[in-house]
Chains A and B, each alone.
Chain A
Amino acid sequence: MPKRRDILAIVLIVLPWTLLITVWHQSAIAPLLAIRKGKREGRREAGQGADSKEYCSSDKDIVEVVRTEYVYTRPPPWSDVLPTIHVVTPTYSRPVQKAELTRLANTFLHVPNLHWILVEDAQRRTPLVSRLLRETGLNYTHLNVETPRNYKLRGDARDPRIPRGTMQRNLALRWLRETFSPNSTQPGIVYFADDDNTYSLELFEEMRSTRKVSVWPVAFVGGLRYESPKVNAAGKVYGWKTVFDPHRPFAIDMAGFAVNLRLILFKPQAYFKLRGVKGGYQESSLLRELVTLNDLEPKAANCTKILVWHTRTEKPVLVNEGKKGFTDPNVEI
């Protein structure tokens, strides 16, 4: 006659073992199911559940094959490891706007982990830009702020004392500070890209490793073939190779530097100065609040390669439009 104590003992022994075995069995099946699911769905959503190391390289193949069937291609799949590049582009309505934004988007479609912050100099977000952004498939944020008329450039008059795009860039900085907290671990780089410049794809990979502020040469600025920071043998920036006022604290063009997002968030008071800024000092007005000359990181092979060109697009001559306009204004250009 088995004693109660014995039964209890047997139960106490058997129970945990059965639980153990069932649980172990379950955990053995689950990753296999995840692998199978990953094969079918892991194409566009990379790195979700299962370890997709072996699938990351193949993801690119599959996306490339799919690409040929689409009219509009998609940007490269988002990676969990690459820092995001937040590109701030101020823009304003003029005949070449759609063209400029189109070819800029065609460049950005090749850059992984790119977040385009497009800020319109307008009272309201225009449907032209909204539609364009949506159709590109890029990861974007569409903002707008209108420059008050007394700060705006009138027509073509190039008054260097009024920097263009300042309010728009500052709005983007404010948006970044409101969206990202300094404690978040999301790495990011902020780059100010005007809509008429030309950017090589290599540039974005160079700036991705920015720790504080990185700098590189820019072509066609300052009346020279290119302007560049002076880098000494130790790899530190000690001056500026420019003709136009090389004694500026940061004699560099807007397209010639990138800032780590963390630095932007840690110094929430740093903005581009709006008033009383001399021509060519706009970049300095922001950078001097963020970093010193010593902290600058030279990129592009120690500032010897040109990876960005300060191209400017001619204003199209619309003489044949006449006073009333010859072409149908409903056709968007």
Chain B
Amino acid sequence: MRLKLKLKTVFILYFTVSLLGLIYALMQLGQRCDCTEHDLAKDRTISRLREKLHSLLEQTKKAEPTKPLKPPLPTIYVITPTYARLVQKAELTRLSHTFLLVPQLHWIVVEDSPHRTGLVSEFLSHSGLAFTHLHVATPHERKLQEGDPSWLKPRGAEQRNEGLRWLRENIRSQEGGVIYFADDDNTYSLQLFEEMRWTQRVSVWPVGLVGGMRYERPIVEQGHVVRFHTGWRPSRPFPLDMAGFAVSLRLVLANPEARFDGDAPMGFLESSFLQSLVTMEELEPKADLCTKVLVWHTRTEKPKMKREEAMQKQGLGSDPAVEV
């Protein structure tokens, strides 16, 4: 009798333990389990390899390519002349945000200055872009003086030529690529860069908000540029804006004398460069046969500094150590 009782309690105990265990397991089913327990060796190696890949990508991004790998996409070399003024850092900042989204882009920034400035150097090193930092000072007689209207003298010619010189000395033609002259106050859509990437000689497209009009554009008939739709001096050889064309690297390297003429009359800067490279018939129309506007010739207002100047006269100007 006693034995029977013992067995019964044992069974009951056993049963309750099992039941509790079952309930526990069912509860666990609903929860997110700690997967590291079930990590197989394979998964661990995969995650380790992924980490390594990540660090390698970081390294290649930072390291200067001594032996440039053949990229799948042609590189777009963007030459931007820039000069020190209040809005410079702001302009370069928002420009860099656009360029960061374009694959295989190399930014060549050329300062109008006798030496590299700290502002631009620091900015470029933190931008995350592949860049080349150059500088050349515009000779005094060619420079715009205070109070001159912006259209009086062509700007940026020396700086763009310096960018071309660097390319001619440092990039081999087999690598392919396209050169684009991007001013630091314009606005560029991402699609523009994909349109220009496969330029064979010189490609062209419309530019918005330029020439006193909503846009200027080449007129295309049967896939070729026949004339230009512009409101100002359409008789120029190439009545385009600097932002309205791109040149293939190969063409520039094949024509070592092609450069911008800083003494050219107003509006002829682009023509002075393109004349020696291509004829109108050879131009490649992009942006849906030049019917879409993918770049705008925006200009930024000069910020009003009357109060700042007044304060500085009193010796109470804002802290110049704070970089603007």
In the complex, whether A184 has a CB less than 8 A from a CB of chain B is no
Interface size on B, residues (CB 8 A): 81
Q: Which of A67, A309, A319 contacts B87 (CB 8 A)?
A: A309
Enumerate chain A residues within 8 angstroms of B26, measured Cβ to Cβ.
23
Interface residues on A, range: 35 or more
In the complex, whether B263 has a CB less than 8 A from a CB of chain A is no
Looking at chain B's contact residues, the main secondary structure is mixed
Q: Tell me the bound Cα distance from A303 to B229 in angstroms.
A: 49
Q: Tell me the bound Cα distance from A151 to B191 in angstroms.
A: 38
Enumerate chain B residues within 8 angstroms of A304, measured Cβ to Cβ.
322
Question: Could you tell me if B300 and A312 are in contact, using CB atoms closer than 8 angstroms?
Answer: yes
In the complex, whether A99 has a CB less than 8 A from a CB of chain B is yes
Q: Which of A27, A311, A327 contacts B214 (CB 8 A)?
A: A327
Question: Could you tell me if A100 and B187 are in contact, using CB atoms closer than 8 angstroms?
Answer: yes
Enumerate chain A residues within 8 angstroms of B265, measured Cβ to Cβ.
none
Question: Could you tell me if B212 and A99 are in contact, using CB atoms closer than 8 angstroms?
Answer: no
Cβ of B208 to closest chain A Cβ, rounded Å = 4
Enumerate chain A residues within 8 angstroms of B104, measured Cβ to Cβ.
68
Within residues 308 to 333 of chain A, which ones have a CB less than 8 A from any CB in chain B? 309-314, 316-321, 325-327, 331-333
Question: Could you tell me if B299 and A313 are in contact, using CB atoms closer than 8 angstroms?
Answer: yes
Question: Could you tell me if B214 and A71 are in contact, using CB atoms closer than 8 angstroms?
Answer: no
Enumerate chain A residues within 8 angstroms of B22, measured Cβ to Cβ.
16, 19-20, 23
Question: Could you tell me if B212 and A319 are in contact, using CB atoms closer than 8 angstroms?
Answer: yes
Question: Could you tell me if B18 and A13 are in contact, using CB atoms closer than 8 angstroms?
Answer: yes
Contact A51 B32, CB 8 Å, known A20-B25, A99-B208, A309-B89: yes
Cβ of B284 to closest chain A Cβ, rounded Å = 18
Q: Which of A82-90, A117-125, A174-182, A218-226 contacts B (4 or more CB under 8 A)?
A: A218-226
Enumerate chain B residues within 8 angstroms of A64, measured Cβ to Cβ.
57
Within residues 236 to 262 of chain B, which ones have a CB less than 8 A from any CB in chain A? none
Q: Tell me the bound Cα distance from A64 to B57 in angstroms.
A: 10
Within residues 63 to 90 of chain A, which ones have a CB less than 8 A from any CB in chain B? 64, 67-68, 71-73
Q: Tell me the bound Cα distance from A319 to B57 in angstroms.
A: 51
Question: Could you tell me if B73 and A223 are in contact, using CB atoms closer than 8 angstroms?
Answer: no
Cβ of B301 to closest chain A Cβ, rounded Å = 4
In the complex, whether A211 has a CB less than 8 A from a CB of chain B is no
Contact A102 B308, CB 8 Å, known A32-B40, A57-B51, A327-B214: no
Question: Could you tell me if A327 and B213 are in contact, using CB atoms closer than 8 angstroms?
Answer: yes
Contact A20 B18, CB 8 Å, known A106-B101, A313-B298, A326-B231: yes
Question: Could you tell me if A31 and B11 are in contact, using CB atoms closer than 8 angstroms?
Answer: no
Q: Nearest residue in A to B299 (C-beta to C-beta)?
A: A314
In the complex, whether B172 has a CB less than 8 A from a CB of chain A is no
Within residues 149 to 203 of chain A, which ones have a CB less than 8 A from any CB in chain B? 198-201
Cβ of B88 to closest chain A Cβ, rounded Å = 10
Contact A96 B293, CB 8 Å, known A58-B50, A320-B232: no
Question: Could you tell me if B94 and A103 are in contact, using CB atoms closer than 8 angstroms?
Answer: yes
In the complex, whether B90 has a CB less than 8 A from a CB of chain A is yes
Q: Tell me the bound Cα distance from A98 to B191 in angstroms.
A: 14
In the complex, whether B304 has a CB less than 8 A from a CB of chain A is yes
In the complex, whether B189 has a CB less than 8 A from a CB of chain A is yes
Enumerate chain A residues within 8 angstroms of B318, measured Cβ to Cβ.
224-226, 241
Q: Nearest residue in A to B310 (C-beta to C-beta)?
A: A243
Question: Could you tell me if B300 and A314 are in contact, using CB atoms closer than 8 angstroms?
Answer: yes
Q: Tell me the bound Cα distance from A313 to B298 in angstroms.
A: 7
Cβ of A24 to closest chain B Cβ, rounded Å = 6
Question: Could you tell me if B11 and A23 are in contact, using CB atoms closer than 8 angstroms?
Answer: no
Within residues 101 to 149 of chain A, which ones have a CB less than 8 A from any CB in chain B? 102-103, 106-107, 109-110
Within residues 213 to 234 of chain A, which ones have a CB less than 8 A from any CB in chain B? 217, 219-220, 222-226
Contact A222 B301, CB 8 Å, known A198-B94, A331-B291: no
Contact A96 B298, CB 8 Å, known A27-B25, A31-B33, A71-B191: yes
Give the residue among A57, A67, A327 with the most B Cβ atoms within 10 A. Answer: A327
In the complex, whether B305 has a CB less than 8 A from a CB of chain A is yes
Give the residue among A17, A20, A39, A319 with the most B Cβ atoms within 10 A. Answer: A20
Cβ of A255 to closest chain B Cβ, rounded Å = 12
A-contact 0/1 string along B30-42, CB 8 Å cutoff: 0011110010100
In the complex, whether A294 has a CB less than 8 A from a CB of chain B is no
In the complex, whether A266 has a CB less than 8 A from a CB of chain B is no
Contact A28 B38, CB 8 Å, known A306-B323, A331-B292: yes
Q: Which of B21, B46, B206 contacts A331 (CB 8 A)?
A: B206
Enumerate chain A residues within 8 angstroms of B231, measured Cβ to Cβ.
319-321, 326
In the complex, whether B66 has a CB less than 8 A from a CB of chain A is no
A-contact 0/1 string along B186-229, CB 8 Å cutoff: 01111100100000000000101111111101000000000001
By a beta-carbon cutoff of 8 Å, the part of chain B in contact with chain A is 11, 14-15, 18-19, 21-22, 25-26, 28-29, 32-35, 38, 40, 43, 46-47, 50-51, 53-54, 57, 72-73, 86-87, 89-91, 93-94, 97-98, 100-101, 103-104, 187-191, 194, 206, 208-215, 217, 229, 231-232, 291-293, 296-301, 303-308, 310-311, 317-318, 322-324
10 further A-B contacts with Cβ under 8 Å, apart from A306-B324, A311-B300, A327-B213, are: A20-B25, A26-B29, A68-B72, A73-B190, A102-B187, A109-B97, A217-B322, A223-B308, A326-B231, A333-B214
